[in-house]
Structure 1
Amino acid sequence: MLTALEERLLWQEVIERDMAATGFSLLQPTAAASEAMRCRDVLLRHEVPVDDFSVRRLFGWDSDCQRFLTWLEHFDTALIQSHLATQADCLRACADVGSSESNPGETVDLFHCYDLQPLVIAALDRQVQARSISPTEQPETALPPLTTFPTRQAELAEVARWAADRHRAGKGTTVIVLADMASDRALLEYALRAEFDCLDARYNELPVNFSLGMPLSATPMYRSLLCALRLMLTSVDRSDLLFLFTSPFLPLACRSEESPQLLVIQQLFALGKPNLECTDIRHYLAKHDPTSPLISIIDRQREELRGRVQLGLGEWHSLFRRMLEHWGWPARDGLDSLEFQQFDRLDNVFDDFESLASVRPEVALSEALNLLESVLNDTVFQPKTEATAIQVLGPREATGLTFDAFWFCGARSTAVPGVPRLLGFIPAALQNQYHFPTADYASMLQKSEVTLQGFRAASIEFYASWYQFEDGVEQYPSPVFPSCSTPQDIPDYWLLRTSAQRAEIPIDILEDDYGIPIDAEDGTSVGGSAILREQAECPFKAWVRRRIAVSAPEPEQLGLSPIERGNLLHAVLYEVWGRIINRDQLLALSMDGLENLVRGVLDQIFGEHIHQDVRRRVGAACLELEALCTYRVVLDWLLLERSRNGDFQVVSREDSRRLDLGGLTFSLRVDRIDRLASGEMLMIDYKSGGVGSASYWFGERPSDPQLPAYALSQDRVQGIAWARLKAGDLKFIALGGELGLNAEKPLSKQLAALGLPPETTWSQVLEGWRDALTNLAAEFGEGYAAVDPQPRACDFCDLQGVCRIRQPPLSEMPS
C-alpha cells in the first residue's frame, strides 16, 4: 500500500507526463497533484460511479474536471501495472470481500462516529457487525454562551492562565481544544510556557501534552540536517546560511561577537544576492576564517558529487549519510530527551526516503533533497512525555474522552462549523448530490452541534470562547452557540473597538519632534556627510534612515545601477590621477598617449572591480557599452582638465578624514584635492548624475552640505568644485577665488550671483558654513526629528508611508 507521500508523487508523475505529451501547462503541478489525490480518495470513499455515463457527462462540462478524468485513468493504470494500492483501494477491497452474511463477524461499537463515508460503512458491514452509539442529550447539556475576546492573543493568554491556575491548585484533568490547531498551537504553547516559566532553561518541563506533534522538518535538529545537505547544491538562500552558522547541531555556531564568521556573513550579505553561491562562501571563509571546518566540507562535497547526476535513492541515502558524518551531525554534546527521540527517528526517515524508489527510481540531487524534505514534512514527531493534567487537543482527538474541565477555543463561524469548500476537480453538482462533507454546510453544522454536545456532556466544567478581530478584520461567532458574553477583567490593551466606537473617543494629539539623543562622548563616528544632507532636507528623514535604519527595499535592477555606474567611474578616475599627478604631466601626453592611458585603466578596472555576480546579472554586452561610454566621458574630461589656465597638482585621492561638528564626529572621503599654483587647496567631488547650482551650498539648511563639510576638514582651502561628469555636459561648478578654472569670475561676482553680499570674504563663507553645519549636527545629535521637509525633498523620498506627510490633518479626516 502506498504511503500518502508515495501516492502524491505518483500523481505528480502522471500529471507531468500528461503535460509533456499534450502541451497542457500548469503553474503548480505539485498543488494539482495534491488536489487530484484528495479528489480520487473522496470519489472512492463516497462510492461515486465515475464510469457511469451521466457522471462522466458532468465532468465534461468543465475543462479542469475533464482533464482530471484523464489523469485518473492514467493513475489507475499505473497502480495496476505496478501492483500498488492506496488506502482507499484497500478499503474497497475489504468491502468487496469479507465474511458471509450468515457469519457477520464480531460486534464493533462505533462511539461518536458521525462522518463515516459510505465505503467505510460498506467495509465494516462486510467484516464485522457495527453498531453506532451516540450520547443521549440531557437538558443540562445545553451549550453555554460564548465568552468573547477581542483578539486571538487575548483569548489564548486567558486560556493559558486558566489552565495554569487549575494545574497549580490540583483541580483534576484539564483539556484545551483548539478549533484551529494549525494556527493556534504555537501561540497557545508560548502563552503556556510564559505562565509556567518554561521558555529558557526549563523548556522541557512544561506540564502539558499536545495531541498533535510537529513535522520533523520543523524541529531545529532536522532543519539543521536539511540546511547542511542543501549546501551540496550550487547555492543556498540567506536563511539557510544563517541557520548553518547558528545551529547548535552543526560545528559552525558562532561563539562570540568577535567570531570571524560574523564578518563572513556580513560580506556575503553585502553581495545583495538572495541565493549565495557556495564558491563565494568558500572564498570569504578562506579569506577571513581559514580554519573553518566548512571549507573542508565544501571541498568534500565537490569530490562526492563529481560525475554524479542521476542516482537511485539508495545511493543518495548513502551519500547523505557520509556528508552528515563529515559534518559531525548532530554536533551538540549531550542531547536531551526530546532531541534524542528526534535523532532516533533518523533510520526510519531514510527508510521512508528509500521506499520512494517505487515511484522515483533515479533523481537528481535537487529532487532527492526535495523528496527528503517531503518525508520529513510528512513525518510527525510526537515526543514521549509523562502523563500530565493539561491536555491540548483538536476536536477529533477529544471526541469520546472525559475531563474535569474543558475549554473550547476559537469558536468563530469560519472554524465552527467552517466554510464549505468545493473540490477543484469534481463538478459541484456531483459534490452536492453525494453530500460531500466539505461541500454541505447543513451537514457541517449538524456535525459541529453533535460534537460540541458530546464535549459538554463529557465534562464537569465546560467553557467556550471566540475572538472578534483577526488582523483588524471583524469575525463572527459560531452559530452553534446560543449567545455571547464579554469577560469583565480583560486588560485595556487587549481591547479593539469598532469604527463607530472609535469615533466617539476623543483623540489627544501630542507633538514630539525629538527622539533619543546620541551619546557620542567617545568620539565614535556617527556616519558620513549624507547625515548632514538628510538632516537639512528633512530631520525626520535623517532620524529614520540613520538612527533606526529604515529604508525601502531596493528595486530589481536591470543593468548597472546608478551607484554601480558611479563607483566604476570613481575607480577609473582614481587610477588615472594616480598616473597623472599634475598639469604638466597631463599636457606632456599626446592624444594617442592619453587614449592609451584611459584604455589601459578601463581594462584594469572593468577586469578587476566588477564582481562575478554583477557580470552575470548585467551581461558582457552591457558592460562593453558601459566601458565605451566611460572611456568617452573620462577622455573628454581629461581634455577639459588640460584647458585649465592655472597649474595644479593632485595631492590626495579618495582621502579619508574626520570632522567634528556639534559634538559629533563625521567620517568623510574626499574624491580629490588639488594644490593650486598659490599653494592653496581646491576640494573636488565627482558627480556622474544630476547636480544643482552653487546655491545648494548656502542657507541655514544647505541642500547639499557635502563640499562645505570637505572644506571645513582641510586647512588652506581656497575653493570647492563639483566635477560634473555627464556625457555632453562636462564642466566644473565651483566657488572660490583664483582657482585656475575656465571662465572664472571673481569671488565677489560669484557671491552676488547667488544673492549674497559681494563684500563677503572667503573666510566669512567658511565661517558661515561652519555655523550652518554645526547646527545641523547638533540637531541630529539631540534627536531632532520633526517632519519638516525642504521644497522638493519629498519628490523622490521613499519614507512617505512612515511620515505620512501627505495625509490630511486629523481635523479634516472623515470620522
Structure 2
Amino acid sequence: MSDAFTVLAAGGTVVTANKRLARSITLDWNHHQRAAGLQAWPAGRVLSWPSFIASLHALSQRRGGEAGKRLLLGEVHARLLWQDIIEAASADLLPGAATPLAEEAARAWRLLCEWRIPLAGLAVAADSRDSLAFAGWAEAYHSRCESGGWADVAMLAPMLLADLGRGGIEAPARLHLTGFTDRTPLQEGLLEGLAARGCRLSTDGPPAPAADTSHRRCSDPGEELEEAARWARRWRDDEPHARIGIVVTDLASRPAEVRRRILDVISPRWRLEPARQLPVNFSLGQPLAGFGLVRVALRILGCLAGQLDHRHAVEMLTSRYLPDGAVEASARARLVWKAGRRTGTTIPLGKLLAEAAGDAPLLHARLAALLEAIGRVPRRQRPGQWADAFRLLLEAVGWPGDAPLASDEHQVADAWQELLDELRSCDAVAGALEQPAALQLLGQMASERLFQPEGDPGAIQVLGTMEAIGQRFDALWVCGMTAQSWPPPAHSTALLPLRLQRAHGLPGATPALVREQAERLVHWLGAGARQLVFSSPSFEGDEPLAPSPLLASLPAAAGLPRWPDKLWVGRMLDSTRLERLDDDPPPPVSDGEHPRGGSSLLEHEAACPARAFVQHRLGATEMPVPAHGIDALARGSITHQALEFFYTAVGGHEQLLALGEEGRRQCLDTAIGRAIAGWLPDEADAVLRKLARNEHERQRGLLAGFIASECERPGFRILDTEKREASAAGLPALDRLQLRLRIDRIDELEDGSVLVIDYKTSRQLPGKNKWVGRLYSPQLPLYATLCAAGGIAFVQITAGKLAWQGVAAGACGIKGIMPADKLGDPAIGSWPELQASWRHGLEKLAREFLGGCFNVNRKQPQDARGEWAMAIRPQELGEMPEDEP
C-alpha cells in the first residue's frame, strides 16, 4: 500500500484490478491524509482498469485522436448489440434465450480481444456448432461496431495504443498497478506502449507472507462460518481499529446463509434493528431490481400497460415508497383485500383508481396524476425519451415517498438514476422502442446490475476470493478451502475452440492453468497480514470433504482468538423460565352480539373452537390471493350455480326424461353459460375469456354425466334449489345464533319423504364417522333438522368420480345412501334416534361457541394451518398424546 500512496502523493495514477479495490485504496488514502494532520488534500486518482481505459478514451476525444472518434460502448450497450445479432442469426431460439447467450458471447469476445486472438481464423478453428456460430456472431459484431463508429473497452486498447504511437494522446507521467495477479496480453501491450511514451510504471512487489498462517478444520460449512465470525468478533473486541476480513470462496452460491450465520455472532440483534448500520460489510451485491425502492419503481412504471399483476399491485399499495402510506395504511390494506377477491390475476388501473376514491383519497389523487401522465407518453420513442418519461411518471406518483430515506436507500436511489442515464445512452444501439420493449429493457438492466450499498469502511469485511486480492488486512480468515472447490474446476468458454484456448493459455483452459492461478491467489491472499487462517469443513451433509492440497504445508491452527459467548438464540433459550398464567377465557357472546357465518360456524367450532372464535367473533379472514386462471373455489361455485339454473328450469325427474338427450344438453349449456357469465368480470382479458370457454367445455362434460345418472334414479321432484333458511330449529342455543343457511337442493322422493342434498366438488368427502359423535360435518344434519327431512346426502361431482354418500330413514334406491339403522352405532337404531343425536350435537356446538370456548383441537391440526396457525399457534402445544380424549 505504501507504493500506491507514494504514487498518489506525487500526483500519479493508481490502477486497480477491480472497482472494490479502487474504493478501498481511495478510503485508505483519505484516512492516511487525515492521520497526517491535513485538513484538505487533492483527491487521489485511483481507477479500476475499465475506468482507466475510459479516461484515456476521454483524453483521445479532447485531443482529436482516432480512439476518441469511437463511441465507447458500456456493458449494457454491448450486450444489447450481441443480443440483437444472436436473435437475427438464430430464428429458432426460444423467447429469452438470447439474453444468457449474449452474456456468454460478450465474455468470449473479451477473451478473444484480451489474448489477441485473430478474428479471421476463428471459423476455420471452430470445433463445435457453438464455436462456429460464435465466429459468425463475432464477425457481425465487429462489422456493426465498425459501421456504427463504436468500440467496447476490449476493442479500444489497440486504438489507444495507436494514438500513443502517433502522439495523439499523452501518456500519464506516473502509473502504479495493484491487485493484478495476472495481466492479459492486451494489458501488457498497452502498458508497454505507455512506458515507451515516457510513463513511469510500477507494480506491487511480491506479496509478503502473513506473519502467522495456519489451517483450521471444522465439522461442516455452518460451523466453519460461525468459527470465522467468532474469531473476527474477538479480533474486533481486542483491537477495534484492526482491518479484519472473512473470505468465503463460495459466497455467490449462498449469500443468505453467510449473512445470517455471521451476523448472528457479530451483530446478534440485526433482526430486531433492521435500520441500524451493520458492523459488517458484505461485498456480494444483489441485483438492483431486488431492492425495495427499485422494485416499487418498476411496479409503478408497469402501470403503463393499463393494468397491474395482483402481486405487483399489493407491493405498490403497501409500500412506504408511495407518499401518505402511514396516513392511509388501513385504507390501502382494505384495497389490497378487495383486490385479492377479484377474478383474475390482473387489476385494471382504472378500476383501482375507482376503488381508491372512497377509502384512500390521497392515493386516489396520486393514481389520478399517474394516469394523466401516462396519457401523455407516446407508445413508441427512443430509449433516452423513455428515460425522461419514466422519471416524469415516478414524479407524478410521488416516488420515493415522503418518509426520510436511510443512507443505503439514498445510494439505491442514486444507482436507479444512474440506470436511467444508462438507458438514455442506449439510443444509438437500441433505436426506437415500443412501450413493452422499453419496460422489458429497463427491468432487464435493473436485474443484471449488481449493487452493494457502501457501508462503514472500518467494518469487518466479508468478501469473495477475487475481491480480497490486493487489499490489506491485519487479520484474514479464508473459508471453504476444500479439495473439491480449491483449485476450482477448469471452466473454459464453450464459444471458443478449446484448442485455441489452450494454445493461447486462456484462463480455465486446462487444469494446470487453473492450479497455477489458484496457487498465485493463495500466495496473494492475506499478504502482509498479522494472522491468516485458512479453513475447510470435514463434511457437507453426509459427504466427507478433504482439505485443499494447496494447504498441505500449513500447520494446524491452535490458540486462535475466539469470542466464547453463546449466540443470541442460545441466551434467549437459557433465559426462559416457567410462568404460570391465570385462566382468562374469552367472554361469552353477549345479547347484542351477532356472529357472522352460516353452517361453517358450527363446522369450524367442531374442528377447532379457537379458529371459530377468531374467524366468527373477531371477524378475521385469510388474505385472499387471486388464482392464475380459474381456481377450485371458482369452479365449484360455477358447478353449483349451473345446477341451480338447470334444475330450476327442469323441475324434476319426469321433466328430465321428457327433455330427451338433446334438450338436456341445450338446457345444460344455457345454465353453464349463465353461471360463467356471472363469474366472468366485464374487463376480463382475452386469456381469461379463453379459459372461460375451456371451463364451459369442462363443466359440460362433468355435469352431463351427473345428469345422465339422475335419469336412472327413482322418481323425484325438486322442491327447492339454493334455498335460504334461518336456523330456527326450536333449540335455544342454536336459535340464538340466527345462522343464515343455504341449502343446495331439496328433493321430494316417490314415497313423499324429503331428501336434502349438498353438492361436493372436492375430491374428498367427510370421514366415515360424520353422522355420529362430534359433528365435524354439521351442515347436512343441521339442514335435516330445519327441514324435517327423511334423508340427507352429499353428492360428489368430480372428473372421473360420481358418488352419493348419505343416510336416510329407510332405503331410497340410491347407492351410497344407507338406512339409519345400518350405521353400526349401538346408540342409533332408527332415524328419530339419529335426529335426536344430531339435535344434541348441534346444540352442544352452539353452546360451546356462545360460551366463548377457545380450545385448540390437536386432533384436527389441519384446520389451523397457514395464516390461521399464526393466530392460533397450535404448534406451541406439541403433539397430541395418545390417551388424550
Change (3 A) 1:563 1:480: same
Counterparts of residues 367-406 of structure 1 (less than 5 Å): 367-377=437-447, 381=451, 383=453, 387-388=457-458, 390-406=460-476
CA displacement at 1:238 relative to structure 2: 4.9
Q: CA deviation at 1:212?
A: 6.0
Task: Quote how far apart the aligned CAs of 1:764 are.
Answer: 1.6
Q: 1:229 maps to which residue?
A: 301
Indicate yes or no: 2:677 matched with 1:610.
Answer: no
Is the aligned partner of 1:49 residue 2:118? yes
**Deviation larger for 722-731 or 366-375:** 722-731
Equivalence for 2:487: 417
One of 763, 772, 790 as aligned partner of 2:832: 763
CA contact under 8 A between 1:45 and 1:120: conserved in structure 2?
Answer: yes
Counterpart CA distance in 2 for 1:213 and 1:312 is: 30
Measure the CA separation in 2 of the matches of 1:248 and 1:165: 38
Alignment check: 8 A CA contact 2:728 2:738 kept: no
Aligned match of 1:168: 237
Distance 1:733 1:250, change over 3 A: closer
Q: Is the 8 A contact 2:377 2:389 kept in 1?
A: no
Q: Does 1:670 align with 2:743?
A: yes
TM-score (structure 2 length as normaliser):
0.67
Distance 1:238 1:467 in 2: 44
Partner of 2:101: 32
Match of 1:93 among 159, 173, 180: 159
Q: Is the 8 A contact 1:570 1:686 kept in 2?
A: yes
The alpha-carbon deviation at position 783 of structure 1 amounts to 3.6
Q: Which digits, 9 at most, give the CA deviation of each residue in 1:263-289, with x for residues without a partner?
A: 44345445685x524359628835984
Tell me how large the CA RMSD over aligned residues is. Answer: 5.7
Q: 1:571 aligns with which of 641, 645, 648?
A: 641
Q: Provide the rounded CA distance (Å) in 2 between the counterparts of 1:366 and 1:605.
A: 35
Matched, 1:10 2:77: no
Which stretch has the larger CA shift, 406-415 or 311-320?
406-415
Name which of 171, 180, 183 aligns with 1:113.
180
Aligned to 1:512: none
Alpha-carbon distance in structure 2 between the residues aligned to 1:252 and 1:165: 45
Give me the whole-angstrom Cα distance separating, in 2, the residues matched to 1:693 and 1:785: 15
| Deviation, structure 1 residue 493 | 11
Deviates more, 1:9-18 or 1:768-777: 768-777
1:795 aligned partner? none
After TM superposition, give the deviation of residue 316 of structure 1 in Å. Answer: 1.4
Stretch moving more, 752-761 or 716-725: 752-761
Task: Tell me the distance in 2 between the aligned counterparts of 1:667 and 1:238.
Answer: 32
Q: Is 1:218 matched with 2:285?
A: no
Match of 2:180, as an amino acid?
C
- The offset of 1:39, in angstroms, is 0.4
1:730-745 to 2 correspondence within 5 Å? 735-737=807-809
For residues 216 and 323 of structure 1, what CA distance do their matches in structure 2 show? 19
TM alignment of 1:100-499, pairs within 5 A: 108=175, 110-111=177-178, 113-128=180-195, 130=201, 133-135=204-206, 143-152=213-222, 154-178=223-247, 179-183=249-253, 186-191=256-261, 193-194=263-264, 195-196=266-267, 197-201=269-273, 203-209=275-281, 215-251=287-323, 253=325, 259-270=330-341, 275-278=345-348, 282=352, 285=355, 289=359, 291=361, 293=363, 297=367, 300-301=370-371, 304-305=374-375, 308-377=378-447, 381=451, 383=453, 387-388=457-458, 390-413=460-483, 415-468=485-538, 475-482=545-552
Amino acid at match of 2:185: P
With over 3 angstroms needed to count, the CA separation of the structure-2 counterparts of 1:628 and 1:655, relative to structure 1, is: farther
Query: Residue 321 of structure 2 aligns to a residue in which SS?
Result: coil
Q: 1:373 to 1:446 in 2, by over 3 A?
A: same
Question: Does the 8 A contact of 2:356 with 2:363 survive in 1?
Answer: no
Count of residues in Structure 1 that have an aligned counterpart in Structure 2: 731
Per-residue CA deviation, residues 741-776 of structure 1 (Å, 9 max, x unaligned), is: 97699x9x9356666789923232234557899999
Greater mean alpha carbon deviation, residues 485-494 or residues 127-136: 485-494
Q: Secondary structure at the match of 1:205?
A: coil
How far does residue 174 in structure 1 lie from its aligned partner after superposition? Answer: 2.6
Moved more, 454-463 or 688-697: 688-697
d(CA) in 2 for partners of 1:92 and 1:599? 75
**Offset of residue 5 of structure 1:** 0.8
- Equivalent pair of 1:180/1:410 in contact (CA under 8 Å): yes
| Residue type at the aligned position of 2:303 | L
Local SS of the residue matching 2:234? helix
Distance 1:109 1:583 in 2: 96
2:144 is aligned to: 78
Amino acid at match of 2:76: L
Matched, 1:19 2:86: no
Name structure 1 gaps, 5 residues minimum. 495-516, 537-548, 789-815
Distance 1:783 1:519 in 2: 16
Letter matched to residue 58 of structure 1: A
Shift of 1:352: 1.4
Aligned partners of 2:450, 2:505: CA distance in 1, in Å? 31
CA contact (8 A) 1:156 1:187 kept: no
- Cα 1:67–1:234 change in 2 (3 A) is farther
- Confirm or deny: 8 A CA contact 1:672 1:683 kept in the other structure: yes
Q: 2:795·2:804 contact (CA, 8 Å) conserved in 1?
A: yes
Tell me how far apart the structure 1 counterparts of residues 722 and 638 of structure 2 sit (CA, whole Å). Answer: 21
Contact 2:586/2:854 (CA < 8 Å) preserved in 1?
no
Q: Distance in 2 between matches of 1:344 and 1:265?
A: 30
Change (3 A) 1:529 1:202: closer
Contact in 1 for aligned 2:288/2:446 (Cα 8 Å): yes
Please tell me whether the aligned partners of residues 175 and 393 of structure 1 are also in contact (alpha carbons under 8 angstroms).
no
* Contact map agreement 2:385 2:424 (CA 8 A) in 1: no
Question: Which SS does the other structure have where 2:316 is aligned?
Answer: helix
Shift of 1:222: 2.0
Which secondary structure state, in structure 1, belongs to the residue aligned with residue 548 of structure 2? coil
Contact kept in structure 2, 1:286 and 1:295, CA below 8 Å: no
Amino acid of the structure 1 residue aligned with 2:226: A
Following TM superposition, by how much is the alpha carbon of 1:167 offset from its aligned partner in structure 2, in angstroms? 2.7
The verdict on how the C-alpha distance between 1:428 and 1:121 changes in structure 2, with shifts beyond 3 A counting, is: same
Q: In the TM superposition, what whole-angstrom CA distance separates every residue of 1:509-560 from its partner, at most 9, and x where no partner exists?
A: xxxxxxxx99887678999779979999xxxxxxxxxxxx99xx99998xx7
**Identical residues among aligned pairs (%):** 23
Q: How many Å separate the matches in 2 of 1:400 and 1:694?
A: 69
In the alignment, which residue of structure 2 is the partner of 1:800?
none
CA distance in 2, matches of 1:561, 1:325: 38
Given that 1:349 and 1:375 are in contact with CA atoms closer than 8 Å, whether structure 2 keeps it comes out as: yes
SS at match of 1:684: strand
Kindly tell me: are residues 406 and 694 of structure 1, through their superposed partners in 2, closer, same or farther at Cα, counting changes over 3 Å? closer
Amino acid paired to 1:410: G
Instruction: Give the aligned partner of residue 135 of structure 2.
Output: 69
Q: Distance in 2 between matches of 1:729 and 1:398?
A: 64
How has the CA–CA distance of structure 1 residues 579 and 371 changed in structure 2, closer, same or farther, with 3 Å as cutoff? closer
* Structure 2 Cα separation of the partners of residues 303 and 107 of structure 1: 53
CA contact (8 A) 1:39 1:423 kept: yes
Shift in CA distance, 159/107, structure 1 to aligned 2, threshold 3 Å? same
| Inter-CA distance 287–565: structure 2 relative to 1 (3 Å threshold) | farther
